[in-house]
Amino acid sequence: MEDVLKIGPYQFHSRLLLGTGKFADLETQSQAVAVSEAEVLTFAIRRLDLDNPHAANFLEQLDLKKFTLLPNTAGAYTADEAVRIARLAKASGLCDMIKVEVIGDQRTLLPDPIGTLEASRRLVEEGFIVLTYTNDDPILAKRLQEAGVHAIMPGASPIGSGQGILNETNLRFIIEDARVPVIVDAGIGSPADCAKAMELGADGVLLNTAVAQAEHPVLMAEAMKLAVQAGRKGFLAGRIPKKRYASASSPLEGMIE
């Protein structure tokens, strides 16, 4: 059976979602995006000049017809702001999917759980396909599901920190309880972090800084793609349980003759 990522009415073959910011130049961005084989690209609506669709912008090097755009509400500090930004994106015909991001604090850029829940609920009611960036809090993840979001995006660690997965236990709880896709978003530092997230059973990974600011962004984009694929296959294959003691790899009993 085909292994596809389903988010609302959308289906994707790639489980790596990519952010488009922070690249040194547009040529590198475009090459990294191509090599990553990502189908979903996210970008901050606030960075676009919505009044002037012909103005130069950071997406201009990309053939946007090839991708599903996931505008995000980065820069919103309240539910009202996030809802306003999402409506602007929809009115500009960018997409009906929205990544809800309501930040609670400038230093950590961690999500404001109350504003995040409120904005998500309102945008679901308005008919958006809502993917919510959230704390790695299993209870909040449950509440978001109850509110009807289409995907939960728990942070691995603070945005841009590259610290990787800080709370594996919480992530496991979120994944166990989820009836919608779980996409680990933010804080990924290396391919190993991607593989780990996928092996834990995440449905996808969204990242930006680790590729855009790598020494060789295009090479890193490829590494991230392969890590997501490897982690997914590892999850589907079912890892062996960890044991306390050794067991010989070439046992004498029960050998195939």
Binding residues: 160, 186-187, 208-209
Say whether residue 19 binds ligand DXP (CB under 6 A).
yes
In the set 6, 22, 90, 99, the catalytic residue is: 99
Tell me the closest approach of the beta carbon of residue 69 to ligand DXP, in angstroms. Answer: 12
Q: With b meaning 16 or more CB within 10 Å and e meaning fewer, what string describes 58-90?
A: bbebbeeeebbbbbbbbebebbebbbebbebbb
Q: Determine contact, residues 204/17, Cβ cutoff 8 Å.
A: yes
Residue 99 appears among annotated catalytic residues = yes
Is residue 36 close enough to count as binding ligand DXP by CB under 6 A?
no
Least distance between ligand DXP and beta carbon 224 (Å): 10
User: Which distant-in-sequence residues (6+ apart) come within 8 Å of 33 by Cβ?
Assistant: 18, 20, 41, 62, 67, 221
Q: Which residue has the tokens 């090599």?
A: 35
Cβ closer to ligand DXP: 3 or 216? Answer: 216
Judge contact between 174 and 182, C-beta under 8 A.
yes
Whether 14 and 71 have beta carbons less than 8 Å apart is answered as: no
C-beta of 134 vs 229, nearer to ligand DXP: 134
d(CA 101, CA 75): 8
| From candidates 115, 154, 187, 191, binder to ligand DXP by CB under 6 A | 187
Annotated binding site for 1-deoxy-D-xylulose 5-phosphate: 160, 186-187, 208-209
Question: Please, what is the minimum distance in Å from the beta carbon of residue 17 to ligand DXP?
Answer: 9
φ and ψ at residue 60, rounded to 5 degrees: -70, -20
Name residues contacting ligand DXP, limited to 194-223 (CB under 6 A): 206-210
Contact residues toward ligand DXP (CB under 6 A) are: 19, 21, 42, 72, 74, 133, 159-160, 185-188, 206-210
